[in-house]
Structure 1
Amino acid sequence: MSIQSVVVVGGTRGLGLAVAQAFRSSGARVVTVARGASDVTGDATDETLADKVLTEHRPDLLVITAGAVPPMHPLTEHTWESFSANWHSDVRIAYTWLRSALRVPLRPGSRVVVFGSAAELHGSPLSGGYAGAKATVRLITRYAAAEGANLGLTMTTVLPVITPGTTIGDTAISSYGPRPGPTPSALAASVVSLVAGDFITDAYVADPEGRLQPLVR
């Protein structure tokens, strides 16, 4: 599929920035949404903002990468506020933009890629509710994909492993130690390739080289 127009939510740092740059290099028109230094400045949890951006730009591809850096503590040192941080950011952002994609709606044939995390498969004991929040992001995406099929929309989730060179990846490495992981640009290139073909499953897991493999459950 040829992608002409892309909206990247959280496209000014980390994997979101790499994805935005990769699609710009492929010739697509890319609009980034973030709190600062972006094409559209705002809070990604704002439902009105999501509706406005998708109504105005009607992208062929929506990529949702935004989320919070999880506080890293043993369970005994977490508060409920720190433990639940990613539920109030990552889950809400996925809910907000997926709901908007269905309500606006995006044009038939449009695609949505939501970034989760391989932490949901392996656990992340120092990051509070992060792994559970990412599992819920994948579930929400599956729910939206089922509704979106009636509108001609296709949606999938990408689950990266720890990715050095990103804020979340470097935070995890500082707590767990060095881990093999892809560069942001390698993973972004895989996302470009993924979108060019057909989504054959509802989730893909990135390996340490950034290649995307269908999630087998």
Structure 2
Amino acid sequence: MSRSVLVTGGNRGIGLAIAQAFADAGDKVAITYRSGEPPKELVAQGVLAVRCDITDPEQVEQAYKEIESTHGNVEVLIANAGITRDQLLMRMTEEDFSVVLDTNLTGTFRVVKRANRGMLRAKKGRVVLISSAVGLLGAPGQANYAASKAGLVGFARSLARELGSRNITFNVVAPGLVDTDMARQLSDEQRTAIVTNVPLARLAQPEEIAAAVRFLASDDASYITGAVIPVDGGLGMGH
């Protein structure tokens, strides 16, 4: 059956691959994006693209109203939108820290809380949060990013306990370094250093993250909640 699916930050990278996977499966897909233009290939497939900065509660509310009027209540939410502001601790400003937390963690709170209105009425729902292997391992220069991504685990597990009886599942996917524009901004030396620590000795492809997300949103995963699924080539095993 075609479901109403929302992917935040679905205009590029991992979010784009996730949105594409659900659209290819015949779901009614909406994406949010903060800047630029929505991907033409998704729009051509009928994907609803809504401009929304998830740090602004009013924009979040307006985005949901637009999505609900077109696709109905969101049944599957993929909270993917996120940013980085990497800096060593002694050089990291309070703004560097707070902006990343407000987008990656508090922004996720906003979109999840709003989606739960419809999910509670329907007594069913699937929520998948996109974290990071860095949230489990830590990384120099990414204290803000790692804190925000680690926070998603506690957030999801608390809600898994709070809302499990309503047939709403909350799970987390923790990718390693993925072959996206963000990874391509790294130098060859930086990428080599990361891949050296990955047992599978390569970067992930966005479609591999999307496959894990689609599984967690499927009927096959109906008894999985509060899980953290690493898709990192073995980088974070044991954490």
TM-score bracket, shorter-length normalisation: 0.7 to 0.9
Determine the structure 2 residue equivalent to 1:165: 180
Residue 97 of structure 2 aligns with an amino acid whose one-letter code is F
Q: Secondary structure at the match of 1:177?
A: helix
Q: Larger Rg: 1 or 2?
A: 2
Percent of residue pairs identical:
28
Determine the structure 2 residue equivalent to 1:150: 165
Gaps of 5+ in 1: none
Looking at structure 2, the residues matched to 129 and 175 of structure 1 have their Cα atoms a distance apart, in angstroms, of 24
* Contact 2:7 2:79 (8 Å CA) reproduced: yes
Q: Aligned match of 2:80 in 57, 65, 71? A: 65
Residue 96 of structure 2 aligns with an amino acid whose one-letter code is S
User: What is the Cα deviation at residue 201 of structure 1?
Assistant: 4.4
* Contact 1:71 1:128 (8 Å CA) reproduced: no
User: What is the Cα deviation at residue 205 of structure 1?
Assistant: 0.9
* C-alpha RMSD over aligned residues: 2.6
Q: Aligned match of 1:188 in 186, 210, 235? A: 210
Report the CA distance shift for 1:171/1:74 in structure 2 as closer, same or farther (over 3 A).
Answer: farther
Residue 195 of structure 1 aligns with an amino acid whose one-letter code is A
Looking at structure 2, the residues matched to 16 and 87 of structure 1 have their Cα atoms a distance apart, in angstroms, of 19
Deviation string 1:50-71 (CA, Å, 9 cap, x unpaired) is 3444461312211010011x22
Residue 77 in 1 paired to residue 64 in 2? Answer: no
Q: Secondary structure at the match of 1:188?
A: helix
* Contact 1:34 1:44 (8 Å CA) reproduced: no
User: What is the Cα deviation at residue 194 of structure 1?
Assistant: 3.0
* Contact 1:120 1:134 (8 Å CA) reproduced: yes
Q: Secondary structure at the match of 2:143?
A: coil
Determine the structure 1 residue equivalent to 2:45: none
Residue 200 of structure 1 aligns with an amino acid whose one-letter code is I
Q: Aligned match of 2:153 in 113, 131, 138? A: 138
* Contact 1:91 1:134 (8 Å CA) reproduced: yes
Determine the structure 2 residue equivalent to 1:200: 224
Report the CA distance shift for 1:40/1:207 in structure 2 as closer, same or farther (over 3 A).
Answer: same
Summarize the alignment of residues 28-47 of structure 1 with structure 2, pairs less than 5 Å apart: 28-36=27-35, 37-38=37-38, 39-47=49-57
Residue 56 of structure 2 aligns with an amino acid whose one-letter code is D
Looking at structure 1, the residues matched to 82 and 21 of structure 2 have their Cα atoms a distance apart, in angstroms, of 20
Q: How many matched pairs?
A: 210
Report the CA distance shift for 1:146/1:48 in structure 2 as closer, same or farther (over 3 A).
Answer: farther
Residue 137 of structure 1 aligns with an amino acid whose one-letter code is L
What TM-score results when the alignment is normalised by the length of structure 2? 0.77
Q: Secondary structure at the match of 1:137?
A: helix
Determine the structure 1 residue equivalent to 2:136: 121
User: Mean alpha-carbon deviation: is it higher for 76-85 or for 56-65?
Assistant: 76-85
User: What is the Cα deviation at residue 138 of structure 1?
Assistant: 1.6
Residue 229 of structure 2 aligns with an amino acid whose one-letter code is Y
Q: Secondary structure at the match of 1:72?
A: coil
Determine the structure 1 residue equivalent to 2:116: 102
Report the CA distance shift for 1:60/1:104 in structure 2 as closer, same or farther (over 3 A).
Answer: closer
